[in-house]
Chain A
Amino acid sequence: MSATGIGASVRRKEDHRFITGQGRYTDDINRPGQAHAYFLRSPHAHATINAIDFEAAAGMPGVLGIFTGDDLAADKVGGLICGWMIHNKDGSPMRAGPHPALAQGKVRYVGDHVCVIVAETLAQARDASEAIIVDYGVLPAVVDTASAAGARTVVHSEAPDNTVFNWHLGNKDETEAAFKAAKHVTKLDIVNNRLVPNPMEPRAAVGDYDDGEGIFTLYTTSQNPHVARLVLSAFIGIAPENKLRVVAPDVGGGFGSKIFIYAEETVCVWAARKVGRPVKWNSDRTEAFLSDAHGRDHVTHAELATDADGKITGLRVKTTANLGAYLSTFSSSVPTYLYAPLLSGSYNIPAIYAEVDAVYTNTAPVDAYRGAGRPEATFVVERLIEVAARELGRDPAKFRMQNYIKSFPHQTPVIMMYDAGNYGASLKKALEIIDYKGIGKRKRDSARNGKMRGIGFSSYIEACGIAPSAAVGSLGAGVGLWESAEVRVNPVGTVEVLTGSHSHGQGHETTFAQLVSDKLGIPIENVSIIHGDTDKVQMGMGTYGSRSGAVGMSAIFRAVDKVIAKGKKVAAYVLEADEADIDFADGHFSVKGTDRKLDFGSCALQAYIAHKFNGQDLEPGLKEGAFYDPTNFTFPAGVHICEVEIDPQTGVTKIERWAAVDDFGNVINPMIVEGQVHGGIAQGVGQALLEGAKYNSDGQLVTASFMDYCMPRADDLPSFQVGMTVTACPSNPLGIKGCGEAGAIAAPPAVINAITDALGHEDIAMPATPQAVWRAAQKSITRMAAE
Chain B
Amino acid sequence: MYAFTYHRPGSARQAAGLLAKKEDAKILAGGHTLLPTMKQRLASPTALIDLGACGDLKGIVRKGRTVVIGAMSTHAEVAESAIVQEAIPGLAYLASHIGDPHVRHRGTIGGSVANNDPAADYPAACLALGATIVTNQRKIEADAFFTGLYETALEEGEIITRVVFPVVSKAGYAKFRNPASRYALVGVFVAKRGSDIRVAVTGAGEGGVFRWPEAEAALKARFAPKSLDGLKASAEGINADMHADADYRAHLIGVMTKQAVAQATGK
Contacts and interface: CB of A to CB of B under 8 A. Distances in A.
**Do A and B come into direct contact in the complex, CB within 8 Å?**
yes
Interface of A: 123, 126, 286, 649-651, 690, 694, 702-703, 706-711, 716, 769-771, 774-775
B104 to A, nearest CB: 16
A769 B179 contact: yes
Contacts of A123: 1
Interface in B10-50: 40-41
B26 to A, nearest CB: 19
B73 to A, nearest CB: 25
Interface string B174-207: 0010011100000000000000000000000000
Nearest to A650: B255
A708 B180 contact: yes
Contacts of A286: 40
A708 B255 CA distance: 23
A707 B179 contact: no
Given A708-B242, A774-B248, A649 B255 contact: yes
Interface in B211-255: 242-245, 248, 251-252, 255
Given A703-B242, A771-B244, A771-B245, A650 B252 contact: yes
A775 B249 CA distance: 12
A688 to B, nearest CB: 13
A708 B181 contact: yes
A694 B179 contact: no
Contact of B179 (A690, A774, A775): A690
A694 B180 CA distance: 14
Nearest to B249: A771
A175 B90 CA distance: 64
SS class, residues of chain A in contact with chain B: loop
Given A650-B176, A774-B248, A775-B248, A707 B242 contact: no
Contact of A709 (B41, B176, B180, B251): B180
A774 B251 contact: yes
A710 B179 CA distance: 6
A286 B181 CA distance: 15
Residue from B176, B179, B245 whose CB has the most chain A CB atoms within 10 Å: B179
A709 B182 CA distance: 11
Contact of B248 (A690, A716, A771): A771
Interchain residue pairs A-B with the least CB separation, the first 10: A710-B180, A707-B181, A771-B248, A710-B179, A649-B255, A771-B244, A708-B180, A650-B255, A690-B179, A702-B242
B245 to A, nearest CB: 7
B136 to A, nearest CB: 32
A770 B181 contact: no
Contacts of B1: 123
12 contacts: A123-B1, A286-B40, A690-B180, A702-B242, A703-B242, A708-B181, A708-B243, A711-B180, A770-B176, A771-B248, A774-B248, A774-B251
Nearest to A774: B248
A707 B244 CA distance: 14
A649 B244 CA distance: 15
A591 to B, nearest CB: 65
A706 B176 CA distance: 18
Contacts of B255: 649-650
B245 A707 contact: no
Q: How large is the interface on B (under 10, 10 to 19, 20 to 34, 35 or more residues)?
A: 10 to 19
A694 B248 contact: no
SS class, residues of chain B in contact with chain A: loop
Contacts of B176: 650, 770
Given A650-B252, A650-B255, A774-B251, A706 B244 contact: no
Contacts of B252: 650
Nearest to B256: A650
Contacts of B245: 771
A770 B242 contact: no
A546 B267 CA distance: 51
Nearest to B176: A650
Interface in B101-129: none
B30 to A, nearest CB: 18
Contacts of B244: 771
A126 B41 CA distance: 10
A649 B252 CA distance: 8
Contacts of A690: 179-180
A709 B179 CA distance: 9
A690 B179 CA distance: 8
A414 B244 CA distance: 42
Contacts of A694: 242
A702 B41 CA distance: 18
Nearest to A716: B179
B241 to A, nearest CB: 9
Given A123-B1, A650-B255, A710-B180, 10 more contacts: A286-B40, A650-B176, A651-B248, A708-B181, A708-B242, A709-B180, A710-B179, A770-B179, A771-B248, A774-B251
A770 B178 CA distance: 10
A690 B255 CA distance: 22
Contacts of A650: 176, 252, 255
A716 B179 CA distance: 9
A382 B179 CA distance: 27
Residue from A694, A703, A706, A769 whose CB has the most chain B CB atoms within 10 Å: A769
Contacts of A771: 243-245, 248
A778 to B, nearest CB: 9
Nearest to A694: B242
B180 A706 contact: yes
B191 to A, nearest CB: 23
Contacts of B251: 774
Contacts of B40: 286
Contacts of B41: 126
Residue from A126, A769, A770 whose CB has the most chain B CB atoms within 10 Å: A770
A690 B178 CA distance: 11
A710 B251 CA distance: 22
B90 to A, nearest CB: 20
Contacts of A707: 180-181
A651 B255 CA distance: 11
A707 B242 CA distance: 12
A769 B176 CA distance: 13
Residue from B40, B41, B176, B180 whose CB has the most chain A CB atoms within 10 Å: B180
Nearest to A127: B2
Contacts of B242: 694, 702-703, 708
A769 B179 CA distance: 9
A775 B252 CA distance: 12
A156 to B, nearest CB: 29
B186 to A, nearest CB: 10
A702 B242 CA distance: 9
B257 to A, nearest CB: 12
Contacts of B248: 651, 771, 774-775
Contacts of A716: 179
Residue from A123, A126, A286, A708 whose CB has the most chain B CB atoms within 10 Å: A708
Nearest to B245: A771
Contacts of A651: 248
Residue from A690, A694, A707 whose CB has the most chain B CB atoms within 10 Å: A707
Contacts of A769: 179, 243
A706 to B, nearest CB: 7
A22 to B, nearest CB: 23
A411 B185 CA distance: 51
A100 B248 CA distance: 45
Contacts of A708: 180-181, 242-243
B44 to A, nearest CB: 11
Contacts of B179: 690, 710, 716, 769-770
A102 B255 CA distance: 51
B78 to A, nearest CB: 22
Contacts of B243: 708, 769, 771
Nearest to A692: B242
A774 B186 CA distance: 15
A769 B242 CA distance: 11
Nearest to B181: A707
A650 B244 CA distance: 12
Residue from A286, A710, A711, A716 whose CB has the most chain B CB atoms within 10 Å: A710
